[in-house]
Amino acid sequence: MWLNIDGVNILIDPGPGSLVRIFERGFDTRDIDVIVVSHRHLDHCADLNSVVESASESKKNPKDMLVCPSDVVEGEDPILLKYLRKALREYKYIGENVEIPYKNIKILGTVKHIHQGAETYGIEFHSKNKKVIYVPCGRFYEGMLEGYSENADLMVFNTTFPVKTEGYYHLSAQDVEVMLHRYKPKKAVITHFSIAMLKADPEKIAARLSRKTGLPVIAAYDGMRIDF
């Protein structure tokens, strides 16, 4: 996801295909200011190294910042290759109640999510006039009903299943409905679909969420552009 908020370009979760998609859509990696990785699973960061290499022009022009849980960069099995560490000027590790100022915006870590084998937190982007929330993967628990901002301009949910599915550490549309009632964003997007979700038709699921909550809910598709 490429987020432009108050003139700052943020690439969020560069999963498989991210590098190619960026150029296909007429964007340029060199315009990226900040890269955000929600967690170390490959569907969220498989292209991190390729994007960093490209954006920094092979480390000649380091990018400003990578925001991620520490296990993306450190520990025994980091996602970011060590030879690319100099391709970024600053590393900011996200956590609960962590505030990261960058130019005219703030990046905030909110609620800890429970997600198999990976550390991950809710992430908010605040500018003077806008609030965008990214709700990463994780299984629903009561703690997720506190800590996020209400009435955000845009709230993006990693919504893997149409209905609650035991044994998986992912959100369902039913969980998202509860969160929508609680946080009432001005616009919501569901994304990160499983096969079960695709079979159920994400557009129908989004339409049902809209009806039930009275909020505009949109099902994401590749290449979708959205104003907020």
Q: Exposed (0-12), middle (13-18) or buried (19+): which is 39, by Cβ within 10 Å?
A: buried
103-122 residues near Zn ion, rule: CB under 5 A: none
Is residue 43 at the binding interface for Zn ion, with CB under 5 A as the rule?
yes
Stretch that binds Zn ion, among 46-54, 60-68, 72-80, 129-137 (CB under 5 A): 129-137
Closest to Zn ion by CB, 41 vs 112, is: 41
Q: Which is nearer to Zn ion, 166 or 227 (CB)?
A: 166
For residue 59, give the nearest of 79, 30, 95 by alpha carbon. Answer: 30
Buried b (16+ CB within 10 A) or exposed e, 82-119: eebeebbeeebbbeeeeebebeebebbbbbbbebeebb
**Triad 48, 86, 20: Cα angle to 5°:** 25
User: Of 112 and 131, which has the nearer Cβ to Zn ion?
Assistant: 112
Nearer to Zn ion, 69 or 185 (CB): 69
Minimum gap (Å) between residue 42 Cβ and Zn ion = 9
Stretch in the footprint of Zn ion (CB under 5 A) among 6-14, 43-51, 79-87, 204-212? 43-51
∠ Cα 142 144 147 (to 5°): 125
Q: Which of 41, 63, 92, 126 binds Zn ion (CB under 5 A)?
A: 41
Nearer to Zn ion, 131 or 139 (CB): 139
Smallest gap, in angstroms, from Cβ of residue 129 to Zn ion? 30
Distance CA 68, CA 93 (A): 5
